Each structure stands twice: as structure tokens, then as C-alpha cells.
Amino acid sequence: MNKKNQLKKPWPTKDAMAQIYENNLWGGHQSEFFSGDGSHNSELINPYLETVTSFLKSFETQPVVCDLGCGDFNIGKELVKYSKKYIAIDIVPELIAHNKKTFKANNLKFHSLDIAEDELPAADFVILRQVLQHLSNAEIKSLVKKLYDYKYVILTEHVPEGNFEPNQDIISGQGIRLKKQSGVNLLAPPFNFKVEEEKQLLSIKSPEFKGVVVTTIYKVF
């Protein structure tokens, strides 16, 4: 095996995520891009949209938003009008091409990027909604370094109820750490994200699965 092949990821995240959408592994109908119940269940998304909208409207000047892992954009489309510029990013090129055709606004831009490996656009704050739970620790660590470039990070993660051991590693893909009775905590090792302020905005028991869906806002130094 040559050096180039040794360095190649055995299961690239882009391929894993593309397969999820291609085979409707998160549900939805054939030939439809569907990001799962976490992006469509009203019990989860309505309180989330109400809370995040309120935060966006609290700025005197509309902020620039960077949505990392925008998925099928069922949630992001409701937030665009509250931002000066809304930059929506996902790793699957076909999904981004579909979103570009489907969602139109003067202040809306879509980009296909790998949030762990690629340079990210400038913005006031980042939205990460049930994205990190699907990524390996190595990818999350790579992303955390870039989060210091933003003023705020709004993070939503599906985690076990009660106490749990955070940040058990997984292979990137469809599954999440819940199967290991774990979940992502950016402030804990090995990520050690340093922030000025942390505030939990929402904690909603998952209507279809075990655990809770927690939304936290971080004010970055």
C-alpha cells in the first residue's frame, strides 16, 4: 500500500452522508432529501425555532449566520429572514445543489464544504443542530479550532437523560453516541472548548427515541 492510500480515510464522511440521503436512511420518500425526524418533528423544531428566532431578533443589527450541517433546510428556511446574511453549509454536494434550486433569498447562500477540513465563511455566529453527534472525535476537534472565529455558537445535540460519560468516539455516519450511552459535550475532553459564557436554551425529551435534545448557546471569547 502506498503512502497516499495509507493516509486516505477508510470511510469518508462525505460518502457516508451521501449514502444516507441516497438510501433514505433517515426516512422520507424515494428521490427526496430528508434529514430525519429531528428536522421535521414539530415537538422538537417549534420550540427550537421560537427560541433561536427570539435570539436573532434581539440584535440591533441583523447578524450574519453560518449554518453548519444545514441538511434539507427545513429549519434553516425559517431563520433566513432574521439574518443579514445566511450561509448554509453541508458536506453532500447533491443536497446543496437541491437546496440551491429549492430555496431562494437575496441574503441566502449555500456551499458544499467539509466543516472539519475546509475553511469556513466569516459570520457572527454558528448554528450546529444535531450535526456533531454524527461525527468522529477527530473531526469535532478539527472543527472546534474554527469555532473561536465566531461570537456565538448555538449547539443542539441528542444526548442521554441524566448523567453520562461524554464524547465516546464513533465512526462518522448515520448513528450517534446515544447507543454508547454517551453524547457530545464540547467543554469536556478531548475537545475542551473554552467559552466566555454557556447557557442552556432548551431541553426536550425526544418524542421518538431515548434521550433528550439539548440546545445550548456559547458566547465565545
Say what the pLDDT of residue 30 is: 63
pLDDT digits (tens, 9 = 90+) for 146-182: 999 999 999 999 999 999 999 999 999 888 999 999 9
Judge whether residue 10 has pLDDT over 70.
no
DSSP state of 19: H
Say what the pLDDT of residue 7 is: 44
Q: Are 69 and 220 in contact (CB under 8 A)?
A: no
Say what the pLDDT of residue 184 is: 98
CATH of 11-219, one of 3.40.190.10, 3.40.50.150, 1.10.10.10, 3.90.1150.10: 3.40.50.150
Please calculate the CA angle 70-71-75 and round it to the nearest 5 degrees. Answer: 65
- Neighbouring CB atoms inside 10 A of 220's CB total 17
Torsion of CA 121, 123, 49, 99, to 10 degrees: -30
- The closest of 50, 48, 143, 47 to 89, measured between CA atoms, is 143
Residue 163 CA to residue 182 CA, distance in Å, equals 9
Tell me the average pLDDT across 5-23: 69
For every residue of 26-65, DSSP letters joined together read: T---TT-----GGGT-HHHHHHHHHHHHHHHHTSSSPPEE
Tell me the average pLDDT across 104-128: 97
Domain ranges of the chain: 11-219
pLDDT digits (tens, 9 = 90+) for 37-93: 888 999 999 999 999 999 999 999 999 999 999 999 999 999 999 999 999 999 999
Q: Are 182 and 168 in contact (CB under 8 A)?
A: yes
Q: Are 153 and 128 in contact (CB under 8 A)?
A: yes
With b meaning 16 or more CB within 10 Å and e meaning fewer, what string describes 21-41? beeeebeeeeeebbbbbbbbe
Tell me the average pLDDT across 7-36: 75
Instruction: Name the more confident of 221 and 209.
Output: 221
Torsion of CA 191, 49, 207, 74, to 10 degrees: -90
Cell of 94: 447533491
| CA-based R_g, the chain, Å | 17
Threshold 0.95, pTM exceeds: no
Share the mean pLDDT of the chain. 91
- 4 band by pLDDT with thresholds 50, 70 and 90: very low
